Amino acid sequence: MKADLLNDPVFGMAAEQFDRVADFLELDEQVRERCKWPKRLITVSLPVTMDDGRTEVFFGHRVQHHLSRGPVKGGLRFHPSVNIGEVAALAMWMNWKCALMGLPFGGGKGGITCDPRTMSPREQERLTRRFAQEISQFIGPEVDVMAPDVGTTSQHMAWILDTYSTREGRFVPEVITGKPVQLQGSEGRTQATGHGVAFLAARALNKLGIPISKATAVVQGFGNVGSYAVSTMTDYGMKVQGVSDITGAIWNDDGIDPKALREHVAKTGGVAGFPDADAIDPDALLLQKCDVLVPAALERVITKDNAPKLKCRILAEAANGPTTPEADTIIENRGDIFLLPDILCNAGGVTVSYFEWVQNLQRFSWDKKEVLSKLETKLNEAFERLLSFTKKKKCSHRLGALALGVDTVANVKKTRGLFP
């Protein structure tokens, strides 16, 4: 199993990062091994009746990296490239993220290998409910709390909540986060990750002495995270000149209007063909001169090939694992890019998910202003903690963020003993 995981390129990358951090922290061998490997890897087969009457069998995965600090928390992804190694890597990163942010959770992640773009809403509902049914004995408010990720939305969370609650015979909103507000979802959850990315980009601009009103940005991905990052950065007065998604990339020197782009995407299914911008090669988009570059789509898009050619001042990693280890070394050696590492940059989502869980457990709700203000306080604390740690230890932002997370988990494991 260890070799299978290490052979997966995404898990291999997460493990390589972990080993670097463990060396840096001088973790002893016992704790190092316990921190590295996932506690539970669960794979279920999911027979689903398709609209044409066929039965198709999908595979769904859930990885609970560790349960030493509380229930695991993490998204559920629908994408054709989902596999157990990728899910395990994403679960490991969630650990360090929750610990860095001071949230009482371990890391989890799930995914179903499917292409939601080719499936009808009814097929997606049947698949989601089947997954919820198969996985329900392994999840729960004190064990594993899922949330949306690539290819899933609040509607998918509502189906999971309904399936789980029906099985339990009572309404259990605290089993899932990122659900619709009318099912006790949190105000502000939908925009939380993108809002957090924009907030931290603004804090980084401030540290670099770049006026926010003069700053430019490029965003790869216009889904949940990318679209709200674009809206919030635009609200702050920044000019978002380039945006891409799976359908193509667009550019406008004067900035792209997020509201008009959102309407275009709702109508056509993608950013390609947006009338108020020119088409641009998606690979070239990442290399345009800008103050803030936001990869907000998938993993491993900043590579050893494009890292030397980046012309951004800040790399705000909204996606999970967008930078390969080779690219990371190049960026570190260049020294001219302020990195906002993924486990901090996109932590807005899990932080508001935590707020949602707390509100559900208390049967209480906060308004959007309160949620976003509490989110900004938490993000700012983690940002400042990271900057003072990296200054003191003379290390990169990536290493510093991971080290703060790993150290917290390792200390809990040491204190509790061998079992957790």
63 binding ligand NAD? (CB under 6 A): no
Give the contacts of 355 (CB within 8 A, at least 6 positions apart). Answer: 186, 366, 371, 374, 375
Q: Closest distance between ligand NAD and the C-beta of residue 293, in Å?
A: 13
Q: Report yes or no: 237 and 212 within 8 Å, Cβ to Cβ.
A: yes
Q: At what angle do helices 224-235 and 258-268 cross, to 10 degrees?
A: 160
CB atoms within 10 A of CB 377: 11
Rule CB under 6 A: choose which of 245, 291, 328, 407 binds ligand NAD: 245
With residue 190 as reference, give the H or E element that holds it: helix 189-208
The pair of structure tokens assigned to 278 is 């020119």
Q: Closest distance between ligand NAD and the C-beta of residue 347, in Å?
A: 7
187 binding ligand NAD? (CB under 6 A): no
Q: Cα separations (Å) of 94 from 80, 222, 270, 336?
A: 21, 22, 29, 28
The pair of structure tokens assigned to 190 is 């939908």
- Strands 278-280 and 290-295, bridge-based pairing: unpaired
The residues carrying an active-site annotation are 109
Q: Which stretch binds ligand NAD (CB under 6 A): 16-24, 131-139, 211-219, 290-298?
A: 290-298
220 binding ligand NAD? (CB under 6 A): yes
Provide long-range contacts, Cβ within 8 A and 24+ apart, for 172-175.
172/141, 173/360, 174/141, 174/145, 174/357, 174/360, 174/361, 175/139, 175/140, 175/141, 175/145
Rg (CA), the chain: 20
Which residues in 339-358 contact ligand NAD (CB under 6 A)? 346, 349
151 binding ligand NAD? (CB under 6 A): yes
184 binding ligand NAD? (CB under 6 A): no
Interface characters, 357-396, with ligand NAD (x: CB under 6 A): ----------------------------------------
Structure letter (DSSP) for residue 142:
T
With residue 265 as reference, give the H or E element that holds it: helix 258-268
Q: Closest distance between ligand NAD and the C-beta of residue 361, in Å?
A: 20
Interface characters, 294-333, with ligand NAD (x: CB under 6 A): --xxx-------------------xxx-------------
Choose between 34 and 73: whose C-beta lies nearer to ligand NAD.
73
Rule CB under 6 A: choose which of 60, 74, 185, 221 binds ligand NAD: 221
Q: Closest distance between ligand NAD and the C-beta of residue 380, in Å?
A: 18
Q: Closest distance between ligand NAD and the C-beta of residue 261, in Å?
A: 11
Choose between 246 and 395: whose C-beta lies nearer to ligand NAD.
246
Q: Report yes or no: 65 and 72 within 8 Å, Cβ to Cβ.
A: yes
Rule CB under 6 A: choose which of 244, 323, 324, 351 binds ligand NAD: 244
Choose between 316 and 410: whose C-beta lies nearer to ligand NAD.
316
Q: Cα separations (Å) of 234 from 3, 212, 288, 310, 380?
A: 45, 10, 18, 22, 20
Interface characters, 23-52, with ligand NAD (x: CB under 6 A): ------------------------------
Q: Which stretch binds ligand NAD (CB under 6 A): 30-38, 39-47, 124-132, 239-247?
A: 239-247
**Which ranges of 70-153 would DSSP assign to H, the alpha helix?**
84-100, 121-135
CA neighbor of 74 nearest in space, from 149, 185, 11, 137 = 149
Q: Closest distance between ligand NAD and the C-beta of residue 241, in Å?
A: 16
Total number of residues that touch ligand NAD (CB under 6 A): 24
60 binding ligand NAD? (CB under 6 A): no
Biggest CA pair distance of the chain: 62
222 binding ligand NAD? (CB under 6 A): yes
Q: Closest distance between ligand NAD and the C-beta of residue 249, in Å?
A: 7
Cα–Cα dist 123/358, whole Å: 32
Amino acid (one-letter) located at 334: R
Q: Closest distance between ligand NAD and the C-beta of residue 233, in Å?
A: 15
User: Where along the sequence are the contacts to ligand NAD (CB under 6 A)?
Assistant: 148-151, 193, 220-226, 244-246, 282, 296-298, 318-320, 346, 349
